[in-house]
Structure 1
Amino acid sequence: MTACKRRKLSPGAFSGREEYFNNPRFSDLTILSGDQKFYVHKVLVCAYSEYFSLLFDGDWNETRKNVVKLYEDDPQAVKAMLQFMYGIGYMRGDDLLAASVYVVSDKYLVPKVKEHALEKFYLGMKYPVGLNSLPSVITRVYAMTTKIHQELRDIVVSVALDRIYTLWKNKEFVAVNDTISLQEMHECLAWGLLSNLPVLSSLWT
């Protein structure tokens, strides 16, 4: 087992070095997620993630074998999180992926990726979302998050408040209105109305 201390990296560290990502040559750590396998470098992953840094400071089965299994997480979100560490762009035009990356990076204590994912999600939701897809986005975001991800949910609530009357007339939105995630969202909508939470349309200018 090799200990892994967190170190600050310069903004350009590994930037543009795509050949190092998921390349078994010189890799000293394998991350498994879903049916995907990612070859990465402990020095880089631990520098970004407090979770991995603490993991490799301990004596665990994963650290002895240098294989970490993240089977409970979205493989695409794990991939995007790791790609960010190597300076590779991701999440172009995919609001749900950005939300999923936010959740995964929060779980594994990767603040830089979490902040980037939140910004990506905000920018994606800042512009008008089609009413046909909005109910799906809202329900899926609430399904993948909990109350600890409030800043992500606030963005969704802002969009919903902006179109609340139209949403209640949407059959897809109403059809899932008795799910637990939607009940939580109803509470947030009520809170947003009572506290005058700004709607995103007021932020478009």
Structure 2
Amino acid sequence: MQILGTVLRSLARMETKPYPLDLVKGLEKYFDSPEYSDVTIRCITRDFYAHRVVLASQSKFFADAFPDSDIDPALLLEGSMVLGNANAQQNPGCQQIINLQDENPRVVENVLCFMYHADYRDTPCLNVTPPPADAILFNLQMSVAADKFEVSCLKRCAAEKLRDASEKLWNTDAFVKAIASSDEDDDDDDDDDDDEENKDDNRSDDDY
């Protein structure tokens, strides 16, 4: 419940301008397209074609992942490289590869989708009817991803979708289940943080 309240409260404080329609129309066709692609986003189940200028202009996370940045080298897969010429398009193996294999592929896909479409789908696909709580949970995940990848307009979009889904489902069992699931995720994150702190403490003790 805590994360839901935080996201909804933040919506009222946000002031972001909408994307110009012409800009969106121009970018849409390049989403996950090899045309002019110079970076590959690698998830555990699939890769996505992307374009550095699109990612870096909207996300500090991705801007920092490109050359001359202080990004953790572990994020870049071994053997990846960047060529500033047409060879990068002709030979995908020469593209920079950003490793996001620890991230939810559906979330990553929709983060990228937003950067090219100024919107994303909070339902899996047209011919699938997801559980009622799915939209709430997924928009919460997208809000968290917007913070991680530092995409401010995505943060507002996710908050608006979350508000709409919550208004439709607030008095249903699905809403209660969604809140319970989000609280469980928060507890899991806290447990992971505690585990990391314990590991650090143990390493410090070993030093002595």
**Preserved CA contact (<8 Å) 1:73 1:104:** no
Match of 1:91 among 99, 121, 125: 121
Q: Deviations over 1:16-60 (max 9, x none)?
A: 343211111210010012202110100010001011112213274
Query: Residues of 2 paired with 1:13 and 1:144: CA distance?
Result: 39
Query: Which runs of 5 or more residues in structure 1 are unaligned?
Result: 1-8, 146-179, 182-205
Give the one of 50, 63, 67 matched to 1:53: 63
Following superposition, the deviation at residue 103 of structure 1 comes to 1.0
Alignment of 1:68-79 (within 5 A): 68-79=98-109
Using CA pairs under 8 Å that are at least 6 residues apart, name the structure with larger relative contact order, 1 or 2: 2
Secondary structure, aligned partner of 1:20: coil
Partner of 1:32: 42
Displacement of 1:143: 3.4
CA distance in 2, matches of 1:107, 1:13: 28
Partner of 1:149: none
Shift of 1:104: 1.2
Q: What's the CA shift for 1:82?
A: 0.7
CA displacement, residues 104-142 of structure 1 (integer Å, 9 cap, x when unaligned): 121111111112111111121022346332232112222
Asked if structure 1 preserves the Cα contact closer than 8 Å seen for 2:19 and 2:118, the reply is no
The percent of aligned pairs where both chains have the same amino acid is 26
Q: Give unmatched runs, 5+ long, in structure 2.
A: 1-17, 82-94, 124-134, 189-208
Distance 1:51 1:29 in 2: 14
Could you say which residue in structure 1 is the equivalent of 2:145?
104
Q: What is the SS of the residue equivalent to 1:68?
A: strand
Corresponding residue number in structure 1 for 2:33 = 23
Q: CA distance change for structure 1 residues 81 and 135 in 2, over 3 Å: closer, same or farther?
A: same
Partner amino acid for 2:183?
Answer: Y
In the superposition, the TM-score normalised over structure 2's length comes to 0.58
Q: SS in structure 1 opposite 2:24?
A: coil
Q: Which contiguous aligned blocks of 4+ residues in structure 1 show a shift greater than 6 angstroms?
A: none
Q: Structure 1 116/101 Cα, relative in aligned 2: closer, same or farther at 3 Å?
A: same
Separation of aligned partners in 1, 2:41 and 2:151: 15
RMSD, aligned α-carbons: 2.7
SS in 1 for 2:47: strand
Q: Does 1:81 align with 2:111?
A: yes
Label 1:139 to 1:72 Cα distance change in 2 as closer, same or farther (>3 A): farther
Correspondence for 1:41: 51
Distance 1:124 1:100 in 2: 14
**Partner residue of 1:124?**
165
